[in-house]
Amino acid sequence: MNPPEFVGSLDPLVALEWVKSLEAIFDYLKFNDRDKVSCAVFMLVKAARIWWEATKVTVTVRELKWDEFKELFYVKYFSREVRAKKVKEFLELRQAAMTVNEYTFKFEEGCVLVPFIAENDKDKGEHFRRGLRPEIRRDVHMAKVVTYQDIVERALLAELDEREIEKERQLRRQALQARGQGTSASTRGGYKRER
């Protein structure tokens, strides 16, 4: 199992995802702090390797804990300002024109940044529900679901229902328009034809 290399991307979510990927591997392999830091340093390449070479002279590498390494890493690639901006975006996240799947992905991406919401299933579900489009949120409320996963599933079903309702409306409109055009054709010349 090879951990992903980190080249020094300036996209903060790439940096965050790199750390999360490493942590999943570290948990599986039951690495201690020293092994985590060693492995992470080994996986740095290009610009990130240069950053580490400059940074390591300011710390005692042998005593560096994983959380301390992450904080150094985040100062460079995921600054407090960027984190604050991403947290604000998450707290204000709304479904708008996104599908429920797209909204769920964005929401779960944000949960990584705001663990105080993600840790409590009820708070997580309520925050998710508040961001849904009103017609989908209504259906989720009516279903009286409680867990985050149940809310997501109900939202997906509500979205499918909304699509079906919209298709039915379009078919009715088309049928009415077709009847209207038939009437127009039969009333040419200013009088209505008998059928």
Q: Does 91 map to a domain? A: yes
Please check the confidence at residue 195 and state whether its pLDDT lies above 50: no
> What pLDDT digit, counting tens, does each position of 71-108 carry?
999 889 888 888 888 889 999 999 999 999 999 999 99
Q: Is residue 194 part of a domain?
A: no
Average pLDDT estimate for 37-54:
94
Same domain, 179 and 91: yes
Residue 171 lies in a domain: yes
DSSP letters for 51-100: HHHHHGGGS-GGG--HHHHHHHHHHHHS-HHHHHHHHHHHHT---TTS-H
- The whole domain housing 89 covers 84-186
Q: Which pLDDT tens digit goes with each residue over 163-194?
A: 999 999 999 999 989 888 755 544 545 455 45
- Are residues 104 and 40 part of one domain? no
Residue 88 and residue 115 share a domain: yes
